[in-house]
Amino acid sequence: MPLIPSRFRNLAGPPSLQSCTRDVYVPGLRFELAPVARIAYGMACAARYLHQQGILHGDFYAHNILHDEQGYALLGDLGAASLYSTGAQAQATGLQRLEVRAFGGLLEELIERCDESPAAQLGLTTMRELKARCLGDSPQSRPLFDEIAQVLGGLAAHCRPRGSLPMVAESAVMARSH
């Protein structure tokens, strides 16, 4: 009995010698806005949950994300994770904002692969603005995952097809070994 349904596949492969530090996506991979919003929202919720537990993922990139065609996603590979004290607020916030920077890179990659239909423009604008804040040069100006999840949750809910079930993002964290 498989632990992960077979409909899930890697979002990207790890960086190559040619891409250097960027994950390698299947050439020509394109998404509509709704799956991109769901992937981003699910990963923001996963990071928020980990941070609430005092866990820094440490390798928050597309090659550690499994997804399906609807955009439901699972975050795996906690091999680079580390624990930190949530009581040391300044240190905890600083560490969380390091992971927000990595999340901004993920948003950038997802946006690059999103079809830019006229209907998607408002959602893409929201995601681009959030991405810019996540990638900000000043760590203090980067949002935390509470805010990121709120913004992306609104976007994902707006993209949800009529009659579909609400998303359950808190279950997006799973551990898997390589």
Longest dimension (CA), the chain: 47
- For the stretch 21-48, pLDDT in tens is 788 899 999 999 999 999 999 999 999 9
Q: Which carries the bigger pLDDT value, residue 14 or residue 72?
A: 72
Residue ranges of domains in the chain, CATH in brackets: 31-172 (1.10.510.10)
CA distance 53 to 70: 28
pLDDT at res. 16 = 76
pLDDT at res. 3 = 87
3-class state of residue 64 by DSSP: helix
- For the stretch 86-142, pLDDT in tens is 999 999 999 999 999 999 999 999 999 999 889 899 999 999 999 999 999 999 999
pTM of the model: 0.88
CA distance 158 to 2: 32
Q: Which residue, among 80, 83, 101, has the nearest Cα to 91 in the 3D structure? A: 83
Cβ contacts of 68 within 8 Å, gap of 6 or more = 5, 7, 8, 9
Which pLDDT band, with edges at 50, 70 and 90, does 177 fall under? very low
Query: Quick one: tokens of 81?
Result: 């994770």
